[in-house]
Structure 1
Amino acid sequence: MGRLRDEVFCPLVEDPIRERKAVFTHKLRGLATACVDYLRIARQSAVRVTAERSKLRSAILDERVRGEVIDDELTLAAKRVSADFSKNLWPQFDDVIGPLQYRLAEELRVDMREWRGHLGRQTRHFEDWLRGKLTTELAKVTPSGAQLARQLLEEAEVRFRRIVDAFRDRLARNVTQALNLSLSPLAWTVHVPEVIAPDPALSKTVDTSWAMLWWAIPMPLFGWFFHWHFLGLVPWEVDKNVRRLFGGWCEAFENAVENLREQALTGVRVEIATLNEVLDRQSDEVPLIEDAIRCLEAGLAGACAP
């Protein structure tokens, strides 16, 4: 622990600018090393005749590293983690529905005894009451969705990273077998998106034609009927909004997973496109390629110097 404090934490606190510069230099060195590897592949390809270059491309970019194959692997992983999210989240939401329906109905039964005014006023009162209650109650359920979303997004990132790493391993192996050259690993930088839960949405509680006739309905005589109608709406609104919130969570999570999948697939496609590009180099480009290699190697030597 003392060594960790002295060698890692203390330098960060004492000289954060120097440490940020060191991190930047490390990343730049990794990128330059990868560029040198690609240029060496380009040089080896450029000295070959057209027929040999075609065979070389087929050997390096074989069926195992096709973008469509990696896309299928990423899609399957995304579907599995989304299914896990739905399967694990629904029981937590389902357990809420019955008790919440009963409790809100009992609270409404008591509160409605104090309501006064015409049908339009009492309808608005009920809608505001129910919206406030549902917003409060559903806010208590939301943290379970947020916690599970964070956990499974991390799992999705791990799964995607394994697929991308396996793709790069196969690609590097092909390069080594075809050209006896190495292909430096590149770090997959991922931005994990935020999952935002939806708000509850209430349907109309009274038919429009009835609402327009509020002035003609004597509530002292018929108020019991509409209060009974309001009570009957509570179970429906609770069930609908809990299910809608669950569906909103699933949709938001699937969108976040798809965002991660697209980031991974974009990295794969860029790498394949880059290799396609370097394998197209012609023999007259060899001097330029060698100059670029020397320049980068000199820069790397300078960066590594104490």
Structure 2
Amino acid sequence: MTSQTSISMPDIRNLLGFLDVTVKSFSMMSLERQLAAAQDLLLENPPIDVAVLGQFKAGKSSFLNSMLGQQVLPVGAVPVTTTITRLQYGTRERALVRHFNGLTTEVPLSNIVEFTSEAKNPGNKRNVAIVDIELPTLQKYPHLRLVDTPGLGSVYKYHQSASENWLPSIGTALLAVSSDRPLSEHDLELIRELTSHTPNIIILLTKADLLSSEQQEEVISFFQQTLQREIHLTLPVYLYSTKIKTADYKQSIEQDIFQTICANRDDEFLRILRHKTRALSQSCLSYLRIALHSSLQADLNRDSLHEQILNEKVNEDLMNEELSIISREHQRQTRPMIETYLEQFLPPLIKKVKAKLEREIPSWQGNLWKLSRRYEAWVSETLSEEMRQLSKTEHIHFLGTQKKAHASFSRSLEAFRKFLGDNIENVLGVKLAVVDWKIDVVEPDHPDIAFTKSFDVHLDLLWFLIPMFLFRRIFERHFMKGLPKEVGINLSRLAYQWEKSVNNAIDAMRIQATSYIHEELTTIETLLSRTQGQTDDIKRLIAQIEILSEKISN
């Protein structure tokens, strides 16, 4: 994070102006979000956002609470953070809840859990866009805004979406990686995407107390080697623990990161904005070169050009059908796979439930009608709890078809973009802009495990004719005999509920893949069909963007 005094704000503004005209004129849908983020940054000139990102349960909220020296953000044993939460200096403690409908309400700091936690705001039913928290304790960092983000890879899909949609707005990225998890492919994909949005990416190794000093050095070395091999980057790595050496870790991060940003705020802001604008201009230029070559050949044979580039290998309808087939094939296998896995639990579960019933049924009192109702309630309560526990401990084994579908979707997207890129290069002689199409692998929502009675004996309607002191043992044996059937039925229901959840997740991945394809083909289609007679205009745009890009590169 070095000084960039030569960067000119007017130059960046001019370049963004040209990019805005170009993106809108040529309908470059895939660049709209990046453009909006850079424009907002230029217009608002906000504090520099230092965002803590990473997989769920990486210790992001705990880290921020520790840095603040007070328990501001909710933490828990399950994914907690629902919305983007920003923390900055204010003369008094307060929280501003900003909703998607434009409404902003002030709430006591003690009440933010009602808006930012999954427990109190499930599914973000309150439609919270962002929560801004102001704290007098942040006076020493007036030009900095700390950002807590929902975990990536959470079971809650809207958590993932909230974090990923916010990535273009990042100033400095602290990627939290827990010491009890290795650097994953998802972390590497996130770093790749972050390189388009910020020049400042820092690895934060949380829960460092789980590692010895030697292990910490080994992990840092592994991180550096992996980053250099996979992404060709060298990134700083900082340790943190809320249990040991916290003061030392905290001082290091404050001095090296927070104080450096604040001391050079204007230069840092310009450097970050320049980075975003340059990345955006490179992608825009790539698309413009496609448009230029299309325009040069337009008068020769536009129909032939269109057919050569957008041939059957990159046909949107055919691609959507291929993705639908992938989705259906894997969804069809979900139920059998789950049922096959659950078969192993049937005998021990029957044995366990029978033993529990044998212990408890002697204490039940009353006539046959009461005994039957008690049995039905017991079966429902006991098996519901057993299914919930089974779902909690074994659900990772239910996701096989989702993982296979993800691999198939990813291969199809990779093949599609390779065909499209090869067509463009062969016909027009230019390379397609590199993009990172990442299909999110989000663990499906856990189904609500609750089962109704399945006991179908109706002799209890004649309870007044049946002397229980003679027949109670008979009915107890009858109840016991019916347990295997009840366990089997409930395991089948568990498989069905997880089938729905997993298949919904597969559908979500298919929709995301089709969206990528649609946006890319729409952009290419527009470039091919609307550029006739625009050769000179496109050349001027390319030249002007290259000149302005060069100015902010110095």
TM-score scaled to structure 1, two decimals? 0.80
Contact between 1:200 and 1:245, CA under 8 Å: does it hold in 2?
no
Shift of residue 229, structure 1, vs aligned partner: 3.9
Shift of residue 226, structure 1, vs aligned partner: 4.1
| Whole-Å separation in 1 of the counterparts to 2:237 and 2:474 | 70
Q: Which of 311, 333, 339 is residue 62 of structure 1 equivalent to?
A: 311
| Corresponding residue number in structure 2 for 1:202 | 452
| Corresponding residue number in structure 2 for 1:236 | 485
| Whole-Å separation in 2 of the counterparts to 1:272 and 1:130 | 55
Contact between 1:89 and 1:145, CA under 8 Å: does it hold in 2?
no
SS where residue 134 of structure 1 aligns? Answer: helix
Summarize deviations over 1:230-270 as a string: whole Å, max 9, x none: 22331111001111112222232122122112211210121
Q: Aligned pair 1:15/2:261, yes or no?
A: no
| Whole-Å separation in 1 of the counterparts to 2:323 and 2:545 | 34
Q: Aligned pair 1:171/2:400, yes or no?
A: no
1:39 partner amino acid: L
Flag the 1:288–1:124 CA change in 2: closer, same or farther, 3 A. farther
Q: Radius of gyration: which is bigger?
A: 1
| Corresponding residue number in structure 2 for 1:105 | 354
Flag the 1:123–1:291 CA change in 2: closer, same or farther, 3 A. farther
Superposed, which structure 2 residues align to 1:60-99 within 5 Å?
60-79=309-328, 81-82=330-331, 89-99=338-348
Shift of residue 224, structure 1, vs aligned partner: 4.4
Moved more, 156-165 or 5-14: 5-14
Summarize deviations over 1:71-97 as a string: whole Å, max 9, x none: 344344445655675565434310111
Shift of residue 188, structure 1, vs aligned partner: 1.3
Summarize deviations over 1:87-115 as a string: whole Å, max 9, x none: 65434310111232233234323422221
Summarize deviations over 1:20-66 as a string: whole Å, max 9, x none: 99898767644432322222222333345567111110010011111
Contact between 1:34 and 1:183, CA under 8 Å: does it hold in 2?
no
Moved more, 255-264 or 218-227: 218-227
Q: Aligned pair 1:4/2:224, yes or no?
A: yes
Superposed, which structure 2 residues align to 1:90-169 within 5 Å?
90-143=339-392, 145-149=394-398, 153-169=402-418
Q: Aligned pair 1:193/2:442, yes or no?
A: yes
| Whole-Å separation in 1 of the counterparts to 2:442 and 2:361 | 44
1:8 partner amino acid: P
| Whole-Å separation in 2 of the counterparts to 1:270 and 1:233 | 56
TM-score scaled to structure 2, two decimals? 0.47
SS where residue 529 of structure 2 aligns? Answer: coil
Shift of residue 140, structure 1, vs aligned partner: 3.8
Shift of residue 274, structure 1, vs aligned partner: 1.5
Contact between 1:149 and 1:195, CA under 8 Å: does it hold in 2?
no
Contact between 1:202 and 1:237, CA under 8 Å: does it hold in 2?
no
Identity of aligned residues (%): 24
Summarize deviations over 1:197-239 as a string: whole Å, max 9, x none: 43141334256x7666666765445544543442233111100
1:274 partner amino acid: T
**What is the RMSD computed on CA atoms of the aligned residues?**
3.8
Contact between 1:82 and 1:257, CA under 8 Å: does it hold in 2?
yes
| Whole-Å separation in 2 of the counterparts to 1:235 and 1:174 | 61
Flag the 1:268–1:149 CA change in 2: closer, same or farther, 3 A. farther
Summarize deviations over 1:113-150 as a string: whole Å, max 9, x none: 22112444333322232223213322343245422356
Flag the 1:146–1:26 CA change in 2: closer, same or farther, 3 A. farther
Contact between 1:146 and 1:195, CA under 8 Å: does it hold in 2?
no
| Corresponding residue number in structure 1 for 2:154 | none
| Whole-Å separation in 2 of the counterparts to 1:23 and 1:141 | 48
Contact between 2:350 and 2:487, CA under 8 Å: does it hold in 1?
yes
Query: Would you tell me which structure has more helix in proportion to its own residues?
Result: 1
Flag the 1:150–1:104 CA change in 2: closer, same or farther, 3 A. closer
Q: Aligned pair 1:270/2:519, yes or no?
A: yes
SS where residue 117 of structure 1 aligns? Answer: coil
Count of aligned positions: 304
SS where residue 168 of structure 1 aligns? Answer: helix
Query: Would you tell me which structure has more strand in proportion to its own residues?
Result: 2
Q: Aligned pair 1:258/2:507, yes or no?
A: yes
| Corresponding residue number in structure 1 for 2:76 | none
| Whole-Å separation in 1 of the counterparts to 2:272 and 2:409 | 25
Flag the 1:7–1:103 CA change in 2: closer, same or farther, 3 A. closer
Contact between 2:292 and 2:538, CA under 8 Å: does it hold in 1?
yes
Flag the 1:157–1:302 CA change in 2: closer, same or farther, 3 A. farther
Contact between 2:346 and 2:487, CA under 8 Å: does it hold in 1?
yes
1:64 partner amino acid: K
Moved more, 129-138 or 237-246: 129-138
| Whole-Å separation in 1 of the counterparts to 2:374 and 2:423 | 70
Contact between 2:402 and 2:503, CA under 8 Å: does it hold in 1?
no
2:224 partner amino acid: L
2:515 partner amino acid: T
SS where residue 436 of structure 2 aligns? Answer: coil
Flag the 1:125–1:50 CA change in 2: closer, same or farther, 3 A. farther
| Whole-Å separation in 2 of the counterparts to 1:300 and 1:128 | 72
2:492 partner amino acid: R
Moved more, 150-159 or 53-62: 150-159
